[in-house]
A = this chain, B = another copy of it.
């Protein structure tokens, strides 16, 4: 597993990873950046979102849940002083589908948190992570 950040100019970098994808990395104007890419801590939050999202959707499909829309939102609060670590993270799972069983979603979220998700396996040791689940039911199918 590898990744690299290559400086283009100022605080603007190109991020690459072993999978072959590329991404712009940048900083906010108030710290001298050009606002021209993902902030590094956004990538940490997005890694967490993607990591647990893949767990949960996989488990829901194994549980035969008819999911029609699914997303995971991550909000992180940060310390005011350096280093501006996350001090609290909220992970919200939004599941939509036909006859979704909220208990199945809760179990999937718990399995990701406690067993499968490496991002949570690391971050949960250093910052409180709160989980929220929002389920929406689609109209019954004919």
Count copies of this chain in the complex. Answer: 2
A55 to chain B, nearest CB (A): 9
Known: A40-B50, A40-B119, A85-B121. A3 touches B45 (CB 8 A): yes
The secondary structure that dominates the A interface is mixed
Number of A residues near B (Cβ < 8 Å) is 71
A123 to chain B, nearest CB (A): 7
Q: What are 20 A-B contacts defined by CB distance under 8 Å?
A: A1-B86, A3-B48, A4-B49, A4-B72, A4-B73, A5-B53, A6-B71, A7-B67, A13-B54, A17-B39, A19-B35, A19-B42, A40-B49, A41-B47, A43-B47, A43-B50, A44-B122, A83-B117, A83-B118, A85-B122
Cα distance A44–B38 in the bound complex, in angstroms = 12
Q: Are B122 and A49 in contact (CB under 8 A)?
A: no
Q: Are B2 and A75 in contact (CB under 8 A)?
A: yes
